[in-house]
Amino acid sequence: MSAKIIDGKEISAFIKQQAAGRAAACAAAERAPCLAVILVGDDPASQVYVRNKHRACEACGITSLQFALPADTAQAELLALIDRLNNDAGVDGILCQLPLPSHLNEDAVTDAIAPEKDVDGFHPVNVGKMLAGKDCFLPCTPAGVIEMLKYEKIPIAGKHAVVIGRSNIVGKPAAALLLRENATVTVCHSRTADLKETVKTADIVVAAVGRPCFVTADMLKPGCAVIDVGINRLADGALAGDVDFAAAKEIAGAITPVPGGVGPMTIAMLMMNTVKSAEARLGMRKG
């Protein structure tokens, strides 16, 4: 029997509906939550992402400020803009769209955003709080993975979760959040010995390796949950995840598609983080 398809569009719509209700409460108390997005240069993919974030803000009742800077913007100029937004009481969240042009230092830019406005969850203060299990902004894609599992009532506690990939953006924080939900977590990567055998023991597989169709059906335990974070552009222009979806769905118990799986969740969690920032400022924080 084919796996249940985990619909990221449905789940993200549910989360955005919740965010919209909480944003309306903020607006009634003082003003709508406000997200400032900085785009440096004219990378086509980044432009699409920024447009999608703007549309999501409109749908959720969140004020969207956009700052489009030329590709040759100096580091000092970008940091000055971030400093101005940090000190603007009318801004709740700041996001600088990555990747940045090569002459800019991404770490310095990420570190410059005030932790209380870091709705991407990338600042070292928020990363440290996440690892310590403290209240903080969680990185949007890994947080979205957890929300998908919870929405589908897929058990996490006591289960073996295998994360394939160890990036700071997805792999490491996904492992930390699964651990926080009381899973037993294994992180696999390019140096992992017996990768296939390790993955085959997983009740939950999170694929975030950036290689199309890397996870094959023979690597999966029958009935496992598969969360495919990968999004890869093939030679023919089609999109593919890190999992061989057609074959894997015949083995897995539940699986996310690409597109329409994890992707929509990232923006939904960004909306929720922005609302949470506004609630914290207003003393309305719900967690």
Exposed e or buried b for every residue in 260-284, given b needs 16+ CB within 10 A?
bbbbbbbbbbbbbbbbbbbbebeee
Measure Cα distances from 133 to 110, 130, 169, 270 in Å: 21, 5, 18, 20
Catalytic residue among 16, 92, 117, 120: 120
Task: For residue 280, give the amino acid letter.
Answer: A
CA separation for the pair 225, 123 (Å, rounded)? 30
Which residues are CB-neighbours of 82 under 8 A, at least 6 positions away? 38, 94, 96, 109, 112, 113
Phi, psi for residue 171 in degrees, rounded to 5: -55, -55
In the residue annotation, 203 being an active-site residue is answered as no
pLDDT score recorded for residue 130: 97
H or E, element range at 39? strand 34-40
What pLDDT score does 287 carry? 53
120 is catalytic: yes
**Residue of 16, 53, 172, 276 with catalytic role:** 53
Q: Looking at residue 187, what is its pLDDT?
A: 98
Give the three-state DSSP class for 163: strand
Q: What is the 3-state secondary structure (H, E, C) of 186-240?
A: EEECCCCCCHHHHHCCCCEEEECCCCCCCECHHHCCCCCEEEECCCEECCCCCEE
Q: How would you write the pLDDT of the chain (287 residues) with one tens digit per residue?
A: 689 999 999 999 999 999 999 999 999 999 999 999 999 999 888 999 999 999 999 999 999 999 999 999 999 999 999 999 999 999 999 999 999 999 999 999 999 999 999 999 999 999 999 999 999 999 999 999 999 999 999 999 999 999 999 999 999 999 999 999 999 999 999 999 999 999 999 999 999 999 999 999 999 999 999 999 999 988 998 999 999 999 999 999 999 999 999 999 999 999 999 999 999 999 886 65
Q: Domain 30-116 falls in which CATH fold?
A: Rossmann fold (3.40.50)
Distance CA 183, CA 256 (A): 19
Beta strands (DSSP E) in 52-130 are 63-69, 93-96
Q: For residue 257, how far is the Cα from the chain centroid?
A: 16
Is the CA virtual torsion 238, 239, 244, 247 positive or negative? negative
Q: Are strands 254-255 and 184-188 parallel, antiparallel or unpaired?
A: unpaired
Q: One of 97, 221, 228, 249 is an active-site residue; which one?
A: 97
CATH 3.40.50.720 intervals, the chain: 140-263
In terms of CATH, what superfamily is 140-263? Answer: NAD(P)-binding Rossmann-like Domain (3.40.50.720)
| pLDDT for residue 109 | 98
Q: Are 262 and 226 in contact (CB under 8 A)?
A: no
Q: Decide if 4 is catalytic.
A: no
Q: Are 268 and 15 in contact (CB under 8 A)?
A: yes
Rounded to 5°, the CA angle 180-183-186 comes to: 105
For CATH 3.40.50.10860, the residue range(s) in the chain are 30-116
